[in-house]
Structures are given as structure tokens and as C-alpha cells.
Chain A
Amino acid sequence: MRVNRLSLTFSSLPENVTIARTLVSTLGAQLDLPINELEELKVAVSEAVSNSIIHGYNNDPTNFVTIEIESSSEKIQIQVIDHGCGIADIKQAMQASFSTDPDRMGLGFIFMQSFMDELHVESTVNSGTKVIMTKYLNQSNPSSH
């Protein structure tokens, strides 16, 4: 099976959220994802990268976030990796309306969970976080929705 792998490491700057999202969106379009699924993929990536910048690095722009994408005719798997503060309690962080900032909704993980077929989070405090999200393509896995 033909597999495409992309990796991009970028500064933890807000404008790079757009770049990461656009990259994934372009790849998704090449794989003929329908527009609503493309939109969902963009939201999931946006949330993961925003989390790394806002929470992982506390908005410090001098760090780096890496996005690794692997796609085939079966699925797209996206990893978003930071070396930030990590998440002490992943279960709690993944609950709705858990956010350390009152103006934020705490919906990042909910969106990732809802819009992707699989979501896996690995995190070590003071070492970093890796979010692995998978979306299965087309008819091969229709029951996953």
C-alpha cells in the first residue's frame, strides 16, 4: 500500500496553527475527503496545535511543535508533538469544560474526539505531550462514525 509521510516542525507561534491546518487540509483534499470531513480534520488539527502552544508552552513563542502526518488510502494519522509542560491528569483534561482559562471553552479534546475516529494522548509532566489522531477513510470503516 502506498503511504505518504509528512513532518513539519514549526515555532510555537499562533500563525503556524493556520499553516498546520492548511497542510492537513491540502492532504485531505488530495485524498478526496468530503468537505465536511475536511472541515472536521481542520478543526481537530487546529485544536491540537493550539493546545500545544497555549497550554504546552504557555504561549511562549520560542519553542517548537511538530506535526507528523501519515496517510494512505485507508486512513490519515496525525501526531502533534510538543515538549512543553505536559498534562498531569489526561482524563480530566479531556473532559468538557475543563480549561484553565475562563474565556476558553475546554472543548479542544472534545472536538478532536468527535471529529476523528481515534484519539490517543501521551503526556509526561515537564517533558511534553503527543496527541495521536486517526481518521479512517471512505467505506473501509463505515461503522466508526
Chain B
Amino acid sequence: MIRGKNWITSKIYLTTCKERATMRKKIERQTLHLFLQGELDMNNANDLKVAIDTDIEKRGIRTIVFHMDDLKFIDSSGLGVILGRYKKLVPLGGKIQIQNVPAHLYKIMELSGLPKIIEFLPEKNHNKKDSNLKGEKK
């Protein structure tokens, strides 16, 4: 096994609306990358919470990166899951990062106060592929 390449990639199916709310995850050492898709509300918030908590407890996850590029909707049920995981990870020495929040979701993020306690990362890596491609065309 090549060190640093031991990504575990899988899909979590959030029960009620499978097509709208599937989510990819990647685990790299103690970091869990979650690629949220569709709509996150009381329909699927609890499934997400259980899935994350299982990874925290069984795989020793200490950093969670929420990738929000493809998230279409979030309300306080969804934000509650993020805050709850933050509260759970901090005493364990862990942290949460949020990446690529779509513009239309930023106001709700701001109002929730999450940006005051959680690190929001600007766009990173994802678009590199595109810019690389463009670069290669030169």
C-alpha cells in the first residue's frame, strides 16, 4: 500500500431521498472529507450525523472537511449537524473545516454564526483540474 494514497472512498446514502441526497466521502488517515450534495434538512440530517459519528468513533476521525460545492439547500437541521460534530470533535482535539460554500448559502452560514467558530476555506484544489486543463492547451 502506498502511504498517503490510502483513501477510502465510499458513498453514504441518506435514507429518504436517495437521488437528491447521496454523498461521497473520503477518508485519509484521521481526516474525513464529505462531499455534500442536494438538500440537507430534517429529512436526512440525522442519517448524516450517525454516519459521521460512526467514523469519529470507529475510525478515529479528528478532522472533518465539508465540501459544499454541490449543496443545494441547508437549514438549521443541517447546520445543527455541523455544529454538533464541532462540539464533539473539539474536546477530542479535532477540528472542522468548510470548503466551497455556494454563494446562495453563504448568508445562512453567516447568520448561523458558524464562520466565527469554524474555519471556512475558499475554493481550493477542485478547480485546479480545470485550470490545469486550460493551461495544457497553451
The answer to whether B75 has its CB under 8 Å from any CB of chain A is yes
Which residue on B lies nearest to A96, using beta carbons? B113
The answer to whether B112 has its CB under 8 Å from any CB of chain A is yes
Contact pattern, A 110-125, Cβ under 8 Å of B = 1, otherwise 0: 1100100000000000
Which residue on B lies nearest to A36, using beta carbons? B104
Which residue on A lies nearest to B21, using beta carbons? A18
Interface range, B side: 20 to 34
With the chains together, A35 CA to B107 CA distance in Å? 13
The answer to whether B81 has its CB under 8 Å from any CB of chain A is yes
The answer to whether B79 has its CB under 8 Å from any CB of chain A is yes
Task: Name the B residues within 8 Å of A14 (CB-CB).
Answer: 16, 41-43
Interface class of chain B by DSSP? helix
Contact pattern, B 71-84, Cβ under 8 Å of A = 1, otherwise 0: 00101110111011
Inter-chain contact A50/B77, CB cutoff 8 Å: yes
Q: A36-B104, A39-B105 are in contact. Are A47 and B17 (CB under 8 A)?
A: no
**How many A residues have CB within 8 A of the partner chain?**
26
Task: Name the B residues within 8 Å of A103 (CB-CB).
Answer: 49, 80-81, 83-84
Instruction: For the complex formed, measure the closest distance between the CB of B75 and the CB atoms of chain A, giving whole angstroms.
Output: 4
Task: Name the A residues within 8 Å of B73 (CB-CB).
Answer: 21, 39, 42-43, 46
Inter-chain contact B76/A15, CB cutoff 8 Å: no
The answer to whether B90 has its CB under 8 Å from any CB of chain A is no
The answer to whether A108 has its CB under 8 Å from any CB of chain B is yes
With the chains together, A18 CA to B45 CA distance in Å? 13
For the complex of A and B, the 9 pairs showing the least CB-CB separation, nearest first, are: A103-B84, A46-B75, A107-B76, A104-B80, A14-B43, A50-B42, A39-B104, A105-B80, A14-B42
Interface of B with A (CB < 8 Å)?
16-17, 39, 41-43, 49, 73, 75-77, 79-81, 83-84, 87, 104-105, 107-108, 111-112
